[in-house]
C-alpha cells in the first residue's frame, strides 16, 4: 500500500500522523518497489549486488503472526537464510524449501559465506565459493543469492537488505567466540526455525568418501585420472592398478561361470526332454509290438484263424509255415 513520506503534498482524505509535517513541506506518496518472488524457473536466481532492493518506502517491522496472516499486502516478506552449502544436497534443499514456505508471500534471500571466511571459522571446503554460489542460484526455492555473506548478522546488514526474518534450524550454532551466533536475532523476534533433515549432511558425505577412499581412487584411475591429480603415491598407484586387473579377471571368471551354468542347464533340459521322448517312443514301440505279436495279437489272429472246412481238414488247410508260426506262438506265450 502507498506510504506517505515528508516532502510532498498529501492526497486529500489521507490522515496525517503527528510529526509527519515539516514547515513548508508536504507529504510524498511512496510505494514499495521490493523485488518480487520468482514466478518462472527459466533462469537462475540473481545475485544481490546485481538486483539490490532500492525500495524507498519505510520498511515496517513485522511480527511472525502478522507475516503468517499474509501481511503486508503490498510487498513480500523478506526471509534470509545463510550457510556454507558445500556439496549441495537434499538436506540443504529441504531447509530452503521450509524457509521459502514459512509465510504466504515470501522472498527468500540466501547468504553464502566466502572461502576465506569459511576456512577461518569452520574449515576447508570441497567446493570453492564460486561453485557454491552457482549451486544456490539453481535451487528453485531461492529468489536471490548474497555472495560473501557475513558470519554474524549485523544490524547494518539486516537494514541494507531489508530483512524481515532469519530462518535456520533451532540448534544453537556456536562459532566465532559465541555460544549462538543467532542469539541476538532470536531476542529481536526475527528468528524462525526450520527442521534439519536427519541422515544427510556435508560431513556425512565427506565421511563416506574418506571411508571408501581406496574404492574411489581406483575408480578414478580407471576413468583416466592421473595419480598426481588424485594425490596418490607411486606405490599406491601400482597397487590400485593391480587390484583393478584382479577385479577384471574375477569379473571375467564370474561371467564364464555364469555362461557355463547356463550351458549346463540347457544341456540338462535338452537331455531330460530327449530321455522323456525316448521313453515315450519306447512305450509306444513296445505297445505296438504286443498288439501285433502278443497272445491276442493281430498277427496271430490273422495267421492262425481256423477255416470252415471239416474238422479233419483244419490242420491241412493251413500252410506249413503258418502252422509252424502258430506253434511257436503257442509255445512262446503258453503259461
**Together in a domain, 193 and 212:** no
Residues 30-75: pLDDT tens digits?
A: 777 788 898 878 899 999 987 767 777 777 888 999 999 987 888 8
What does each C-alpha distance from 325 to 299, 330, 331 come to in angstroms? 10, 9, 10
Give yes or no for residue 10 having a pLDDT over 60.
no
Give yes or no for residue 243 having a pLDDT over 60.
yes
Residues 99-125: pLDDT tens digits?
A: 999 999 999 999 999 999 999 999 999
Query: Residue 72 falls within a domain, yes or no?
Result: yes
Residue among 210, 94, 101, 82 at smallest CA distance from 147 = 82
**pTM passes above 0.75:** no
**Together in a domain, 250 and 271:** yes
Q: How far apart are CA 63 and CA 196, in angstroms?
A: 24
Confidence band for 304, pLDDT divided at 50, 70 and 90? low
Average pLDDT over residues 133-138: 96
Average pLDDT over residues 181-203: 94
Confidence band for 29, pLDDT divided at 50, 70 and 90? low
Domain residues for the domain of 137 are 64-198
Query: Residue 153 falls within a domain, yes or no?
Result: yes
Question: What is the per-residue pLDDT for 270?
Answer: 79
List, in sequence order, every residue forming a beta bridge with 145; answer none if it has no partner: 47, 110
User: What is the number of domains present in the chain?
Assistant: 2
Query: Residue 191 falls within a domain, yes or no?
Result: yes
Query: Residue 12 falls within a domain, yes or no?
Result: no
Query: Residue 333 falls within a domain, yes or no?
Result: no
Query: Residue 23 falls within a domain, yes or no?
Result: no
Q: Of 171, 198, 225, which residue sits at a domain end?
A: 198
Give yes or no for residue 5 having a pLDDT over 80.
no
Query: Residue 262 falls within a domain, yes or no?
Result: yes
**Together in a domain, 185 and 245:** no
Question: What is the per-residue pLDDT for 71?
Answer: 78
Q: How far apart are CA 258 and CA 321, in angstroms?
A: 65
**Together in a domain, 240 and 285:** yes
Residue among 3, 161, 157 at smallest CA distance from 72 = 3
Domain CATH code at residue 86: 3.40.50.620
**Together in a domain, 194 and 207:** no
**Together in a domain, 77 and 126:** yes
Query: Residue 68 falls within a domain, yes or no?
Result: yes
**Together in a domain, 181 and 225:** no
Tracing cell 549485523 back to the chain, one arrives at 154
User: C-alpha angle 302/305/310, rounded to 5°?
Assistant: 150
Q: Of 291, 310, 325, which residue sits at a domain end?
A: 291
* Stronger pLDDT, 45 or 265, i.e. the higher one: 45
Amino acid at each position: 500500500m502507498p506510504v506517505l513520506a515528508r516532502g510532498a503534498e498529501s492526497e486529500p482524505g489521507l490522515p496525517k500522523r503527528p510529526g509527519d509535517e515539516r514547515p513548508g513541506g508536504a507529504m510524498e506518496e511512496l510505494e514499495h518497489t521490493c523485488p518480487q518472488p520468482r514466478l518462472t524457473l527459466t533462469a537462475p536466481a540473481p545475485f544481490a549486488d546485481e538486483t539490490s532492493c532500492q525500495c524507498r518506502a519505510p520498511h515496517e517491522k513485522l511480527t511472525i503472526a502478522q507475516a503468517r496472516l499474509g501481511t503486508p499486502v503490498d510487498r513480500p516478506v523478506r526471509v534470509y537464510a545463510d550457510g556454507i552449502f558445500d556439496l549441495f544436497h537434499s538436506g540443504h534443499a529441504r531447509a530452503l524449501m521450509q524457509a521459502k514456505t514459512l509465510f504466504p508471500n515470501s522472498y527468500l534471500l540466501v547468504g553464502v559465506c566466502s572461502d576465506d571466511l569459511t576456512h577461518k571459522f569452520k574449515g576447508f571446503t570441497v567446493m570453492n565459493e564460486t561453485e557454491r554460489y552457482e549451486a544456490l542460484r539453481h535451487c528453485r526455492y531461492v529468489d536471490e543469492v548474497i555472495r560473501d555473506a557475513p558470519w554474524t548478522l549485523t544490524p547494518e546488514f539486516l537494514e541494507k537488505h531489508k530483512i524481515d526474518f532469519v530462518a535456520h534450524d533451532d540448534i544453537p550454532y556456536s562459532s566465532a567466540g559465541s555460544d549462538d551466533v543467532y542469539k541476538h536475532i532470536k531476542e529481536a523476534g526475527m528468528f524462525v526455525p526450520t527442521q534439519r533433515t536427519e541422515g544427510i549432511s556435508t560431513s556425512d558425505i565427506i565421511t563416506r568418501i574418506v571411508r571408501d577412499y581406496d574404492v574411489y581412487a581406483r575408480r578414478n584411475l580407471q576413468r583416466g585420472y592421473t595419480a598426481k591429480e588424485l594425490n596418490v603415491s607411486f606405490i599406491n598407484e601400482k597397487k590400485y592398478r593391480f587390484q583393478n586387473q584382479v577385479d577384471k579377471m574375477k569379473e571375467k571368471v564370474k561371467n564364464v561361470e555364469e555362461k557355463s551354468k547356463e550351458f549346463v542347464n540347457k544341456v540338462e533340459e535338452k537331455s531330460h526332454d530327449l530321455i522323456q521322448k525316448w521313453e515315450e517312443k519306447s512305450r509306444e514301440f513296445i505297445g505296438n509290438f504286443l498288439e501285433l505279436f502278443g497272445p491276442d495279437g493281430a498277427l496271430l489272429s490273422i495267421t492262425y484263424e481256423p477255416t470252415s472246412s471239416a474238422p479233419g481238414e483244419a490242420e491241412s488247410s493251413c500252410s506249413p509255415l503258418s502252422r509252424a508260426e502258430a506253434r511257436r506262438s503257442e509255445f512262446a506265450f503258453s503259461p
